[in-house]
Amino acid sequence: MGLLKKFAAGLAVAATFAAAMATGSANAETVRFWYHFDNPANPMSELVAKFEKANPGIKVEAENVPWNSYYDNLYTALIGGNAPDAAMVKLFAQPRLVEMGALEPLGDRINAWPGKADLLDNLLELNKGPDGTQYYLPVQYVVLYLYYRTDMFAAAGLKPPATCEDFRDAAIKLTKAPDVYGFGLRGGKGGWDQWGAFVFSQGGALKPGGLTNPQAVAANQWVIDLFRKDKVIPPSAPNDGFQEIIGAFKAGKTAMTIHHIGSSKDLVAALGDKVSAVPVPKCGDGRWTSYGDESLAVFSASPHKDAAWKWISFLAEGQNNVAFNSATGQMTVTKSGAKDWKLHERRFVDATVESLPFAHVLPQNAATSEFVNTAWQTAMQRALTGQISSQQMMEELNALVAQ
Amino acid sequence: MSIVTPTRAAESPGPFWRRAHLTPYWLLAPAVVVTAVIVFLPMAQAVITSFYDLILFRPNASRFVGFGNYIKLFSDPVFWTALWNTVIWIGLTVPLQMGLGLVTAILLNREFPWRSVARALIIIPWALPSVVIALMWRWIYDPNTGVLNDLLIYLSVVQGAVPWLADPHLALYAVIATLTWQGFPFFAVMILAGLQGIPKSQYEAASLDGASSWRQFLHITLPGIMPVLATAGLLRVIWVANSMDVIFVMTGGGPGYSTHTLPLYAFIKARQNLDFGYGTAIAVTFTILLGSFVAVYLARTMREVEK
């Protein structure tokens, strides 16, 4: 009964909180804001101080919510009526939030906002809601690409792979089990975007029937074979998350992995110029990589929508946005900020920009949240460990999409 | 467990008597009210919720389905996998903790230098938060950078790194080992207290009669600590059954479903997929199963102890 007890306790706390909020917010407006930064160097309090100085009468309570339970907390807070006024949000959550009626449309506010012209092209288009309304204001972006060890490639006389065939070939040549493996696959939570580079590029799509067509099943089988037959992926892959794939790459246990520019600083600190990056390989006739978005939204239940909008638009403006990104290690969404970009080495910025033409987001439907949150990893882990076949895995995921 | 014992109410008509007679109830009332509001009310609510098809992000599509969630549950293969995992989880963890705790307690009950330091140190695993333990062991087990594989390879016990948490046949046992390590100090401390309550004269008398130390253990030590073992064992069964934080942090229930236990499955359904109807149906079913086990255990073990 631990769960129920906690749930009940949570409800009780939420209720007292809500009561306190209702009575205590008479004069100064307080904007409650949720975000998630992994980086210990957190510039948020400086940003808040700068904002409060420019906007007397508005106070900002910014809370860093741990990433692993960020959405669990956000959804339950929204339902429990104790949600923040604004928060950092990703696109995969948008259909669910729209279905809940939790988001405040921002279109008019964005149009009247001077910062709009400074946003990078196309970002607002990518961020549109499933119903065509603008709810999200972009705040940072990344694109997944392939990290590789320049020294290992040079020693083996290899070039960074441009196609899936090259990729497999290189992975096989670089693998010296159990010391070094060709590729660090993220088989645990959040690994779907690596997998997408191999499967969504070859006929797979997150729509009814889009996963069960023969090409998609074969592409998925190819990934499983990398692990089970070719053995170019560390045996720990089914349980590996972000920490593990980056840890193994830094330790020289893997020669390639797929992640975004957010980890480049960390990798350069460990490996210096022995690490570089190229766009993910072209597989079959297609190329797909994940556009990793992060946006800001105002919630429809907020009593301080205007103040909340002022705060989130502040975060998306020029130098503020650069300061924000210095904490997350991601890319700014402003043209003025991008002009003089010093946060990352050039080679990683290049790999990101070169990947943009084939960077995609997942289709926005209700199944996407569950696919990203739990379904992909449970299915993938069982396929990797031989409990189900590629066909069964794809049928299971298809059933989710077809709901 | 608070049980209000009925007293003879009808025999005391006077107001003075009545007031004195009511005093215990007044004293108990705050605890009862609090327990009712934060334990029994949500429990009742959970039972009601389990009869609804309730997905939190679709509040308008909620509808009454009667036993629908339960029927779905019994034909859900994941439920049976999770139930079996729960049986292994409890069935191995508690006896292992108890065994290790018993050995530790007997060792700590002997005289040796620095004994008080050893007694204090032994408590550390129990005093650490579960999440810290889970993260720590996750790194210990890590096949690429973890220390366990390094040691085993160095000692030539295994040839290559073993993916402890990524192998569906090993993951559950790896987590059980972690929880055993975390929980044995509880038993050690409880049993140590029991051991110190056994009068020395019994051992002296036994050795005069020529009883070997094994027979002394069997006929003096074990009966002496039996009440402690029975109570601590019951507490542990309930705690271990409900604890899912260590599993959640170490494997998230994976790979696949191989470390799903019922409380974890309920948590994933309710909190991550926001399917509260189905999640509470799992929780209610598990409560009934655990409740019946506890009832049988109490009836049998306590009778043995009181003999």
Tens digits of residue pLDDT in B233-244: 998 999 999 888
Task: Tell me which CATH code domain A143-289+361-402 carries.
Answer: 3.40.190.10
What phi-psi label fits residue B166: left (phi over 0), alpha (psi between -120 and 50 degrees) or beta?
alpha
Distance CA(B262)–CA(B264), nearest Å, equals: 5
Q: What is the pLDDT of residues A311-334, one digit of tens each?
A: 999 999 888 888 888 878 888 888
Q: Which domain holds residue B152?
A: 77-306
Distance from B238 to chain A by nearest Cα, in Å? 10
Q: Is the pLDDT score of A11 beyond 60? A: no
3 state DSSP class of B103? helix
Cα→Cα distances B224→B94, B101, B106, Å: 20, 16, 13
Q: Is the pLDDT score of A23 beyond 50? A: no
Q: Which two tokens stand for residue A27?
A: 């004069």
Residue in A closest to B165 by C-alpha: A239
Q: How many CB pairs under 8 A join A and B?
A: 133
Cβ separation A387–B242 shorter than 8 A: no
Does A361 or B103 have the greater pLDDT score? B103
Residue at token pair 């940072």? A140
Task: Enumerate residues 6+ apart whose C-beta is below 8 A from B125.
Answer: B133, B181, B182, B183, B184, B185
Q: How confident is the model at residue A256 (pLDDT cuts 50, 70, 90)?
A: very high
Cβ separation B168–A236 shorter than 8 A: no
Q: State the number of CA atoms in the 13 A half-sphere of A329 facing the CB.
A: 17
Tell me whether residue B91 is in a domain. yes
Of B160, B266, B267, the CB nearest to A178: B160
Sequence ranges of the domains in chain A: 25-142+291-354, 143-289+361-402
If you ran DSSP here, which 8-state letter would residue A233 be given?
S
Tell me whether residue B4 is in a domain. no
Q: Is the pLDDT score of B6 beyond 60? A: no
Distance CA(A211)–CA(A118), nearest Å, equals: 39
Distance CA(A86)–CA(A300), nearest Å, equals: 9
Cβ separation A177–B256 shorter than 8 A: no
Return the amino acid letter for B299.
A
Cβ separation A8–B251 shorter than 8 A: no
C-beta separation of A313 from A113 below 8 A: yes
Distance CA(B260)–CA(B133), nearest Å, equals: 19
Q: What ipTM did this prediction achieve?
A: 0.71
Of A7, A8, A188, the CB nearest to B252: A188
Tell me whether residue B95 is in a domain. yes
Q: Is the pLDDT score of A241 beyond 90? A: no
A76 touches chain B (CB under 8 A): yes
Residue at token pair 């779907």? A192
Q: What is the mean pLDDT of chain A?
A: 87
- Mean pLDDT for B198-219 is 86
Query: Which chain A residues are closer than 8 Å to B289 by Cβ?
Result: none
Does A341 or A290 have the greater pLDDT score? A290
Give me the percent of chain B exceeding a pLDDT of 90.
39
Cβ separation B39–A1 shorter than 8 A: yes
Q: Is the pLDDT score of B142 beyond 90? A: no
Chain-centroid distance of CA B165 in Å reads: 22
pLDDT at residue A403, rounded to an integer: 72
pLDDT at residue A22, rounded to an integer: 45
Distance CA(A97)–CA(A71), nearest Å, equals: 11
Superfamily of chain region A25-142+291-354: Periplasmic binding protein-like II (3.40.190.10)
Q: How confident is the model at residue B120 (pLDDT cuts 50, 70, 90)?
A: confident
Cβ separation A3–B57 shorter than 8 A: no
Bridge partners, A254 (sequence order): A181
- Mean pLDDT for A107-111 is 91
- Mean pLDDT for B197-213 is 86
Q: What is the pLDDT of residues A215-229, one digit of tens each?
A: 999 999 999 999 999
Q: How confident is the model at residue A10 (pLDDT cuts 50, 70, 90)?
A: low
Cβ separation A382–B270 shorter than 8 A: no
Tell me whether residue B136 is in a domain. yes
Query: Which chain A residues are closer than 8 Å to B165 by Cβ?
Result: 236, 239
3 state DSSP class of A260? coil
Cβ separation B161–A4 shorter than 8 A: no
A75 touches chain B (CB under 8 A): yes
pLDDT at residue A365, rounded to an integer: 76
Q: Is the pLDDT score of B13 beyond 60? A: no
Distance from B229 to chain A by nearest Cα, in Å? 23
Query: Which chain A residues are closer than 8 Å to B160 by Cβ?
Result: 177-178, 235
A13 touches chain B (CB under 8 A): no
Tell me whether residue B179 is in a domain. yes
Bridge partners, A258 (sequence order): A146
Query: Which chain A residues are closer than 8 Å to B254 by Cβ?
Result: 188, 238-239, 377-378, 381
Q: Is the pLDDT score of B2 beyond 50? A: no
C-beta separation of B182 from B123 below 8 A: no
Does A98 or A328 have the greater pLDDT score? A98
Q: How confident is the model at residue A39 (pLDDT cuts 50, 70, 90)?
A: low
Cα→Cα distances A164→A280, A383, B108, B297, Å: 9, 20, 61, 59
pLDDT at residue B9, rounded to an integer: 46
Residue among A360, A371, A379 nearest A401 (CA): A371
With vertex at residue A79, the alpha carbon angle to CA A73 and CA A80, rounded to the nearest 5 degrees, is: 80
Identify from B1, B35, B57 which residue to disrupt to test chain A contact, counting A C-beta atoms within 10 A and taking the largest count.
Answer: B57
Cα→Cα distances A273→A144, A156, A194, A277, A351, Å: 20, 17, 24, 11, 15
Number of residues assigned to chain A: 403
A239 touches chain B (CB under 8 A): yes
Residue among A370, A373, A377 nearest A393 (CA): A377
R_g (Cα) of chain B, nearest Å = 25
pLDDT at residue A337, rounded to an integer: 83
Q: Give the helix ranges, DSSP H, for A242-372.
A: 242-250, 264-271, 305-315, 318-328, 335-339, 346-355, 366-370
Distance CA(A218)–CA(A202), nearest Å, equals: 9
If you ran DSSP here, which 8-state letter would residue A57 be given?
T
Query: Which chain B residues are closer than 8 Å to A381 by Cβ?
Result: 168, 254-256
Q: How confident is the model at residue B26 (pLDDT cuts 50, 70, 90)?
A: confident
Q: At what angle do helices A376-384 and A192-199 cross, to 10 degrees?
A: 70
Cβ separation A239–B255 shorter than 8 A: yes
Query: Which chain A residues are closer than 8 Å to B145 by Cβ?
Result: 247-248, 251, 253
Distance from A379 to chain B by nearest Cα, in Å? 6
C-beta separation of B229 from B98 below 8 A: yes
Residue at token pair 């970009």? A341
pLDDT at residue B12, rounded to an integer: 47
Tell me whether residue B15 is in a domain. no
Q: Which two tokens stand for residue B51?
A: 């009869």
Cβ separation B255–A374 shorter than 8 A: no
Residue among A152, A91, A370, A148 nearest A279 (CA): A148
Q: What is the mean pLDDT of chain B?
A: 86
Q: How confident is the model at residue B85 (pLDDT cuts 50, 70, 90)?
A: very high
pLDDT at residue A313, rounded to an integer: 92
pLDDT at residue B222, rounded to an integer: 87
Distance from A372 to chain B by nearest Cα, in Å? 11
Give pairs for A69-76: CB < 8 Å, separation 24+.
Answer: A70/A34, A70/A36, A71/A369, A71/A373, A72/B271, A72/B272, A73/A34, A74/A34, A75/A100, A75/B56, A75/B57, A75/B274, A76/A10, A76/B56, A76/B271, A76/B274
Query: Which chain B residues are closer than 8 Å to A248 by Cβ?
Result: 144-145
Q: Specify the CATH number for the domain of residue B199.
A: 1.10.3720.10
Cβ separation A9–B56 shorter than 8 A: no
Q: Is the pLDDT score of B200 beyond 50? A: yes
Residue in B closest to A69 by C-alpha: B272
Cα torsion B44, B50, B54, B59 to 10°: value is -10
Query: Which chain B residues are closer than 8 Å to A270 by Cβ?
Result: none
Does A233 or A324 have the greater pLDDT score? A233
Q: Is the pLDDT score of A25 beyond 50? A: no
Tell me whether residue B165 is in a domain. yes
Number of domains in chain B: 1
Element (H, E) at A175: none
